[in-house]
Structure 1
Amino acid sequence: MRTVLVVVHTLPSGQRLLDVVEHIETDQRIQVVFTPAPDVFDSGVIDWLRSLGALVVPWQQATRQRFDLAITASYGGLSEIHAPRIVLPHGAGYGKLAPQATGKGSRARRQVYGLDAQRLTRDGRVLADVLVLSTNAHKSILRAQCPEALSSALVAGDPCYDKLLASMHLRKLYREALCVEDDQRLVLIASTWGAQSLFAHSAELMPRLLQQLDNRKFRIAALLHPGVWFGHGKRQVLAWLSEYRRAGLTVLTPEVDWRAAVIGADIVIGDHGSIPVYAACARVPVLTVDGLDTDVAPLSANALLADRAPRLRLTDPIEPQLHSAADHFDDDDYAAITAAVTSKPDQAVRLLRDAIYCQLDLPEPGRHRQLEPVAMPQRQV
Structure 2
Amino acid sequence: MFNGEFTEGRTTEGGGADRWRTLTGRKKLLVLAHTEVYRRRLQDLVALVESDLRVEVTFTVPPHAFNGGVARFLTGVGAEVMPWAEAVRTDFDLALAAGSRGMEQVRAPLLRVPHGGGEMSLVAAAPGAASGDAVRVREPAGITGRSYLTWRGAVVPRAVALPHRDDLRALRRWCPEALPVAEVVGDPAYDRIAASLPFREAYRAALGVEPEQRLVLATSTWGQRSQFNHLDALLPRLLTELPRRHFRTALLIHPNVLARHSRLRVRSWLADCSRAGVLVVPPEADWRAVLVAADLVVGDFSSVTLYATMTDAPILLARYPYADANPASPGVDMALAAPALSPTWPLADQLAYAAAHYPRREYRRIARRISSEPGRFGLRTRRLMYRLLGLGEPAFPPVTEPVALHAGELAL
Q: With structure 2 as the length reference, what TM-score do the two structures score? A: 0.89
Give distance in 2, aligned partners of 1:3 and 1:100. Answer: 34
Is 1:111 matched with 2:149? Answer: no
Contact 2:92 2:107 in 1 (8 A): yes
Is 1:5 matched with 2:27? Answer: no
Contact 1:157 1:348 in 2 (8 A): yes
Give distance in 2, aligned partners of 1:247 and 1:101. Answer: 47
Give distance in 2, aligned partners of 1:317 and 1:85. Answer: 50
Give distance in 2, aligned partners of 1:232 and 1:251. Answer: 16
Is 1:162 matched with 2:187? Answer: no
Is 1:91 matched with 2:116? Answer: yes
Aligned to 1:34: 59
Give distance in 1, aligned partners of 2:392 and 2:80. Answer: 24
Is 1:351 matched with 2:380? Answer: yes
C-alpha deviations, 1:39-74, integer Å up to 9, x for none? 111111101111221111110111000100001100
Question: SS of 2:323's equivalent?
Answer: coil
Q: How large is the Cα RMSD of the aligned pairs? A: 1.6
C-alpha deviations, 1:174-217, integer Å up to 9, x for none? 11111100110000010000000001024211111210111000
Question: Bigger shift: 152-161 or 46-55?
Answer: 46-55
**Deviation at residue 299 of structure 1 after TM alignment:** 2.3
Aligned to 2:345: 316
User: What does 1:232-243 align with in structure 2 at a 5 Å threshold?
Assistant: 232-243=261-272
Question: SS of 2:140's equivalent?
Answer: coil
Look at both structures and tell me which one has the larger radius of gyration over its CA atoms: 2
Question: SS of 1:92's equivalent?
Answer: coil
Contact 1:92 1:301 in 2 (8 A): no
Aligned to 1:204: 233
Aligned match for 2:82, one of 41, 44, 57: 57
**Deviation at residue 291 of structure 1 after TM alignment:** 4.6
Q: Which amino acid aligns with 2:295?
A: D
Note closer, same or farther for the CA distance 1:227–1:293 as it changes in structure 2 (3 Å cut): farther
Q: With structure 1 as the length reference, what TM-score do the two structures score? A: 0.96
Q: Which amino acid aligns with 1:315?
A: T
Contact 1:126 1:148 in 2 (8 A): yes
After the TM superposition, which parts of structure 1 deviate over 3 Å for at least 4 consecutive aligned residues? 99-102, 290-294
Give distance in 2, aligned partners of 1:312 and 1:180. Answer: 24
User: What does 1:1-381 align with in structure 2 at a 5 Å threshold?
Assistant: 1-99=26-124, 107-114=135-142, 115-377=144-406, 378-381=409-412
**Deviation at residue 157 of structure 1 after TM alignment:** 0.8
**Deviation at residue 95 of structure 1 after TM alignment:** 1.8
Note closer, same or farther for the CA distance 1:175–1:310 as it changes in structure 2 (3 Å cut): same
Equivalent pairs, count? 379
Note closer, same or farther for the CA distance 1:123–1:94 as it changes in structure 2 (3 Å cut): same
Percent identity, aligned pairs only, is: 39
Give distance in 1, aligned partners of 2:343 and 2:153. Answer: 50
